[in-house]
Every structure is written in C-alpha cells, then in structure tokens.
Amino acid sequence: MRREVLEAMFPYFQQVFGNPSSVHALGAEAAVALTEARTEVAEVLGCLPDEVVFTSGGTESDNLAVLGAAEAGRSRGNHVLLSAIEHEAVLEAGRELRRRGFDVEEAPVDAYGRVHPTTLAQMVRKETILVSVMYVNNEIGTIQPIADLRAAVRERNPASPFHTDAVQAAGTLPLDVDHLGVDLLSLSAHKLYGPRGVGALYVRRGTELWPTLHGGGQERGLRSGTENVAGAVGLSRALSLAAAERSDEAPRLRRLSGELIERVTAGYSRIHLTGHPTERLPGHASFYLEDRSGESVLVELDRQGISCSSGSACHAGQTDPSHVLLAIGLSPELARNGLRLTLGRQTSAENVAEATERLLAILTEQPLTV
C-alpha cells in the first residue's frame, strides 16, 4: 500500500472512528469523509457521486452487479450473457444464476482472448437482461473493446444493462464510464496500491439492481452494513493518485513489459506469449510453456526472489487447466503451463533484466519435470 494512502486512512482508525450513519458529531465527521471519498471516486469515473457504491472488493462488486441486475430484470427475461474468460467472481455468480433458473451463456473469444462485437451482438436476445465482459483479463492481459461491445449490445437490446469488471484496468487505462458506455463497473482498491478488503461498484442512474446483502440499508439500500470509512478513503486516494500518474506510468510499464516479452520469447523457443500482442495491459506479460509446468517454474522463481503467477492469483496451488487458456484454444495440457509476470510502480529496467535472466536460466539450464 502506498504511504500516501495509508496516511490518508490513518485518522479514520483512531480520531474519526464514528459510525457514518450516526447523528452525533463523530458520526457526522465520518459521514463527511465518506461523502468526500465517494466524490473523489466519481471524479475519476466521470459519474455522479451517488452512482458509486462502496463494497468489500472486486468479488462483491462483481456479485452485486451480476446477481443484482439479473434478479432485478427477471420480469423482463432470464437470459444472461458473460464472456468465457471472466474472473471467477463473475463466472461463479453466473453458475449461481443457473441454479436459480436463469439461462446463462458464455460468449467465445478469439485466440487473443478478445470478444468480437459482431459475435456478442448475435448472442443478444430481446430477453437478455445483463451482459458482462471484463475490461482486461487478469491472466493474459488482453484489453477488450468495451465501448464497441457496449454499442453492439445496445443496438440489439437497448434495455439490457452492460457490466464490466475493471479491477485489472484501474490505474493504467481510462475509466470514464460515459466513454466506455457501461452501466455497471467493478473496482478493487488493492490493485491500485490501496487497502485490501474494499472496492466499489459504479451503478448508472436508472439501472435496476437488487441488493445481495440485507440489513440497515446503507449505500442507498444496495449494500447494507456499516461503511468502511477508512477503506473508502484509501480507495479514493489510491484511485485519484493512479489517475493523476497514468499518463506517465502506463507508457513506462508498457515499455518495460514489452522488453520483458521480447527478451523471454527470443531467449527460449518453447515459451509463447498469451493474449493480444499490442492491445494488452501495460506491465503485463503472460506466456505458456510447451515443455514445462508453469507452477514448477513459478516455484523456482520464487526461490530466487521473483514473485509471479501460473494463472489467476485466486487459484494458486490448483492443478486444473486455466479456463482462460482453454478458451483461447490451448489444450488442457498446455493450459496448465501458464506463467504470468506483472510489473508495478517500483519495477525498474534493472528488475526486468534480472528477472528475464533468471527465468531464461531456469528454462535453458535447469530442466524441470512436467
């Protein structure tokens, strides 16, 4: 977590500790902080403050969007359309909807992991009550053409709300909700050097949503529970700092990850880039190995002080093939051999050179058993 974020949060752990729903002075002071945090998030998203709902993170935001929009739209239809490479927070919500009797379909992707607007539009029906396509895939870094996808859906069914999971995109890609055209957008603070356990869901005015948590009616009745004021302050500060630095930081990360990808693929012929070669998240490098277990390489890199992932961080330690790599056409055997390296604010060119050297040494000089 960034020091600036921690310093912004600190007063709300000790000095301003009131419940923002209370009428006493301490509560009123906390309520002001919550309002300011909501306004700060709204400024980055280009929306109204009352369109921002604070949650416990990306998973809750995704669940509220998917389950809430589907239940609210049940009177209009029962068809829900998700992309095949969504985060499990969305896919599991989709499976829950199937158990509730909804018709849930998954839109295919191409070999780069992109959903084509024409394909998506052909799957939209008059009874479609929600479409959800993530802005950036967490495993392969592919950026989706969200504005084009939203336009294609609107042409076929103007009444169907559109949700995007923007958890990975926040900080390095633009988040203006009007430009994207989305009705629902999920965020998580920890992807922005903010605190864990807090996120937000943008809900466009007029979008019907049923709550998934019930209680005191906080967050305009959409997310009951005493608000995490310190967390909301941390999220808003982290998001505004990232937005202010994006024009410098995104090109730097894109350049560094490009160098990493070029060196790794040139240095070992049996490692291959996954995701789109250019329309990918700055600072994201993902591969699959022909002859090595991604998990084994990950363990060896970790021994050498390099932290990376063999797929989604939420599935660390699992041996099932990646659903994302399966969706882009890899065999189950190859889909177990994913490797993902991501760069951040503190990553330098020297770090990239050292990580590349160590990875290539592992691949070329220390054969691992698959």
**Active-site residues: which are they?**
314
Instruction: Give the ranges where 73-167 is alpha helix by DSSP (H).
Output: 88-99, 117-123, 146-156
**Class of residue 215 by CB neighbours under 10 A (exposed 0-12, middle 13-18, buried 19+):** exposed
Sign, Cα dihedral of 254, 255, 260, 266: positive
- Tell me whether strands 284-289 and 271-273 are parallel, antiparallel or unpaired: antiparallel
Tell me the residue type at 264.
Answer: V
- DSSP code, position 172: T
Sheet holding 128-132, edge to edge: 52-55, 199-203, 184-188, 162-165, 128-132, 79-83, 103-107
Contact 123, 80 (CB under 8 A): no
Question: Which SS3 state, helix, strand or coil, does residue 230 take?
Answer: helix
Give the C-alpha separation, 189 to 232, whole Å: 9
